[in-house]
């Protein structure tokens, strides 16, 4: 028996075909990650499953009596408390309790109580409170009206209602978008324990790796199912693309061979019959399929100047707003090789600390030192709301760099994938991901030595998130990271600072230790220690990743030099070859010019191979590291 069956599903939006005869079967307990490029139709497919959108063809069949849960677009905001709001999601329980209050006859009362016992009505308040607590609502918050919370927190309540129901089929569309790291970790654990089936649309690679057992890839209207988690999907798809590319090349060579014969002998009477047979063979050959390969996404940060350590220190610091302290006893130090992720639930002061480092918040008490030449890039999660909707990425960059040329502004935008066309698109027409790329381009425009990233991946797809990780690995500056994406934190951060209880402390462990700490099982996690004081950084906090980056810096620099040399020599060789192939050069009897060109071409042929060999060796060293 299957929970959900999708057969030959076709969907169109505004005349554009998003799903073309898609098929999917979801068995009980199976969790499927639904992935694809932005705009591929993932959310549209979920709407069709919930019945909010009528399909253009095919069928969607849900198992009889199976409950389906999905997060409503309208977040709850009434006078009911959060706990009441979540409990109300179980409409059967609510209806039975209401009927029981009406004092029906004894027989019916017995049936009601029997059903209430069967659905676990007595434990419902405890289960609802557990879900709310996992999503960041303490006991006091659970008793406050929904109307008192902001939109982001209300969306958490909407998610809590669905999780509380524990339906047979759970549909989640970017469930971590409104969560912090702690709530994301809790959700991952909940999904791992969840016994029902699920379809999860997400750009969170960690969630797709830890919480699903199959990946459904939606691309160009086609839906392909890959068993296993996300890493297996990437491996299998890459292998298939390589095989398809090889088949394409073989078929292209065969076509070229046949076409060559046709072109040579089409006009010759003695060969006409053979030429005609080959024309028919060409017509029968299958069309060469394009390799389904998305446009490569890459980011790069400008190279910052090196500063003497420390670049920033805080001693005896107290910060807050309107005279109310949020964080106290701050004794912190930042060096240019630091990669620090801030842990702690929303509202504990992570963004407040980021504003202090960014120079957007003054100390209430204490002192701080900043290197006079320190440049800081600050990516704040709400900056997209401050963009001029009538402007373009190019106009924003020109305003930020008034002395730069148009070419220089376009070059900085291109570092983050904003090409010629997207650079001149109105902000009001840009996607969330394009706005995030613009903000990254703006905050790094002056090659900062310190980069502060507050939820940088909220609107980035998986490829863009991977590109950000790679760019940060090559970046030779300090990073302060606040993110709900465990995958990003694990790959970028060398050190973890815990922000909570009005303090900032070092967490001596990794994210697995932190998960155990949040779950109450400490495993090998040690108690938080005071964050590193100015001038007193312990040796054991010099993480291996930071040392590795320093060791690899000369290799990366040499690689850049070699790549520039190879590109220059290759271009020069092509120019010489073109000149030597021109009959006019020989007709004019320019012997000296011919000799010089020939000699230079021979020299380039000797210079290039050693450079290419060195490039391969260095690349292997870099990949091995």
Q: Which CATH number fits domain 312-375+446-542: 3.90.1010.10, 3.40.50.300, 3.40.50.20, 3.40.1010.10?
A: 3.40.50.300
In our burial notation (b when 16+ CB lie closer than 10 A, e otherwise), range 501-516 reads eebbbbbbbebebbbe
Report for 106-110, 284-288, 429-433, 571-575: range of highest mean pLDDT:
571-575
Q: Residue 207 in 3-state DSSP? A: helix
Sign of CA dihedral 404, 407, 408, 412: positive
Q: What is the pLDDT of residue 168?
A: 93
Q: What is the pLDDT of residue 536?
A: 42
What does the pLDDT average to over 476-482?
93
Q: Residue 559 in 3-state DSSP? A: helix
* Angle subtended by helix axes 406-414 and 393-400, to nearest 10: 120
Q: Residue 479 in 3-state DSSP? A: strand
CB 299 within 8 A of CB 356: no
Q: Residue 255 in 3-state DSSP? A: helix
| Lowest-confidence pick of 49-58, 266-275, 344-353 | 266-275
What does the pLDDT average to over 296-307?
85
C-alpha closest to that of 8 among 65, 55, 75, 71? 55
pLDDT of 546 > 70? The answer is no
CB 272 within 8 A of CB 200: no
For the beta carbon of residue 129, count every other beta carbon within 10 angstroms: 19
| Residues 189, 193, 199: CA angle, nearest 5 degrees | 90
Per the document, the length of the chain is 625
What does the pLDDT average to over 22-33?
93
Q: pLDDT class for 130, splitting at 50, 70, 90? A: very high
What does the pLDDT average to over 411-420?
88
Q: What is the pLDDT of residue 281?
A: 63
Burial group, residue 380, by CB count within 10 angstroms (0-12, 13-18, 19+): buried
Percent of the chain surpassing pLDDT 70:
86
Which residue in the block uniquely carries the two structure tokens 């499953």?
49
Higher-pLDDT residue of 554 and 226 is 226
- CA 227: distance to chain centroid? 21
Residue 137 DSSP symbol: -
Give the span between the Cα atoms of 273 and 283, in whole angstroms: 16
What does the pLDDT average to over 437-461?
90
Q: pLDDT class for 482, splitting at 50, 70, 90? A: very high
Fold match, 1-67+195-228 / 312-375+446-542: yes
pLDDT of 293 > 90? The answer is no
Q: pLDDT class for 377, splitting at 50, 70, 90? A: very high
Percent of the chain surpassing pLDDT 90:
33
pLDDT digit string, tens, across residues 522-543: 333 344 445 544 444 444 444 5
Q: What is the pLDDT of residue 238?
A: 77
What tokens does 205 get?
Answer: 């690679």
What tokens does 156 get?
Answer: 């958490």
What does the pLDDT average to over 346-351?
87
Q: What is the pLDDT of residue 257?
A: 64
| Lowest-confidence pick of 231-235, 405-409, 539-543 | 539-543
Report for 38-42, 176-180, 300-304: range of highest mean pLDDT:
300-304
Q: What is the pLDDT of residue 282?
A: 58
pTM beyond cutoff 0.75: no
Q: What is the pLDDT of residue 570?
A: 86
The ranges assigned to domains in the chain are 1-67+195-228, 70-166, 234-284, 312-375+446-542, 547-624
pLDDT of 284 > 70? The answer is no
Q: What is the pLDDT of residue 239?
A: 80
CB 484 within 8 A of CB 183: yes
Domain 1-67+195-228 sits in CATH at: 3.40.50.300
Which residue in the block uniquely carries the two structure tokens 């999860």?
200
| Lowest-confidence pick of 94-98, 135-139, 359-363, 551-555 | 551-555
pLDDT digit string, tens, across residues 563-601: 878 888 888 888 888 888 877 777 776 677 888 888 888
Question: What average pLDDT is seen over the chain?
Answer: 83
């Amino acid at each position: 028996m299957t929970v959900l069956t999708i057969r030959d599903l076709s969907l169109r939006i505004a005349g554009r075909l998003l799903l073309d005869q898609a098929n999917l079967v979801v068995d009980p307990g199976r969790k499927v990650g639904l992935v694809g490029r932005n705009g591929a139709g993932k959310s549209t497919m979920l709407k069709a499953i919930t019945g909010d959108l009528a399909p253009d063809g095919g069928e969607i069949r849900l198992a009889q009596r199976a409950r389906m849960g999905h997060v409503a677009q309208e977040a709850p905001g009434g006078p009911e408390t959060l706990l009441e709001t979540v409990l109300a999601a179980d409409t059967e329980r609510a209806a039975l309790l209401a009927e029981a209050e009406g004092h029906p006859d004894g027989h019916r009362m017995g049936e009601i109580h029997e059903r209430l016992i069967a659905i676990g009505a007595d434990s419902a308040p405890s289960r609802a409170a557990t879900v709310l607590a996992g999503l960041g609502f303490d006991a006091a918050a659970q008793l406050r009206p929904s109307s008192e919370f902001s939109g982001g927190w209300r969306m958490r309540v909407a998610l809590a209602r669905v999780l509380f129901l524990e339906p047979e089929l759970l549909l989640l569309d970017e469930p971590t978008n409104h969560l912090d790291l702690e709530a994301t970790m809790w959700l991952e654990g909940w999904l791992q324990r969840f016994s029902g089936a699920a379809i999860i649309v997400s750009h969170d690679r960690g969630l797709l790796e830890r919480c699903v057992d199959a990946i459904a890839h939606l691309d160009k209207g086609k839906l392909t199912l890959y068993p296993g988690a996300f890493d297996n999907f990437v491996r299998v798809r890459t292998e298939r693309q390589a095989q398809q590319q090889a088949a394409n090349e073989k078929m292209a060579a065969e076509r070229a061979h046949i076409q060559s014969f046709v072109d040579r002998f089409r006009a010759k009477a003695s060969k006409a019959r053979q030429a005609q047979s080959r024309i028919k063979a060409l017509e029968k050959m299958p069309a060469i399929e394009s390799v389904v390969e998305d446009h490569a996404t890459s980011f790069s940060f400008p190279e910052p100047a090196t500063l003497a350590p420390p670049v920033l220190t805080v001693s005896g610091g107290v910060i807050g707003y309107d005279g109310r302290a949020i964080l106290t006893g701050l004794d912190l130090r930042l060096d240019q090789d630091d990669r620090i992720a801030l842990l702690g639930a929303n509202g504990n002061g992570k963004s407040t600390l980021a504003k202090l480092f960014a120079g957007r918040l003054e100390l209430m008490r204490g002192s701080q030192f900043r290197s006079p030449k320190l440049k800081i890039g600050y990516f704040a999660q709400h900056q997209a709301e401050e963009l001029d909707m009538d402007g373009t990425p190019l106009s924003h960059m020109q305003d930020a760099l008034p002395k730069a040329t148009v070419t220089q502004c376009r070059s900085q935008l291109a570092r983050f994938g904003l090409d010629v066309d997207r650079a001149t698109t109105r902000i009001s027409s840009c996607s969330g991901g394009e706005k995030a790329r613009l903000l990254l381009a703006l905050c790094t425009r002056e090659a900062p030595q310190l980069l502060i990233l507050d939820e940088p991946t909220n609107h980035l797809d998986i490829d863009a998130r991977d590109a950000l990780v790679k760019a940060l690995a090559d970046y030779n500056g300090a990073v302060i990271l606040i993110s709900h994406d465990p995958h990003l934190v694990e790959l970028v951060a060398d050190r973890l600072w815990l922000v909570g209880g009005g303090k900032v402390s070092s967490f001596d462990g990794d994210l697995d230790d932190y998960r155990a700490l949040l779950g109450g099982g400490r495993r090998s996690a040690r108690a938080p220690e005071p964050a590193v004081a100015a001038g007193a950084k312990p040796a054991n906090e010099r993480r291996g990743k930071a040392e590795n980056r320093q060791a690899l810096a000369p290799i990366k620099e040499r690689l850049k030099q070699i790549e520039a040399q190879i590109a220059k020599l290759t271009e020069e060789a092509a120019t010489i070859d073109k000149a030597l192939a021109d009959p006019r050069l020989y007709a004019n009897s320019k012997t000296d010019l011919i000799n010089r060109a020939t000699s230079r071409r021979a020299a380039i042929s000797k210079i290039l191979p050693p450079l290419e060999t060195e490039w391969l060796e260095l690349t292997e060293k870099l990949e091995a590291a």
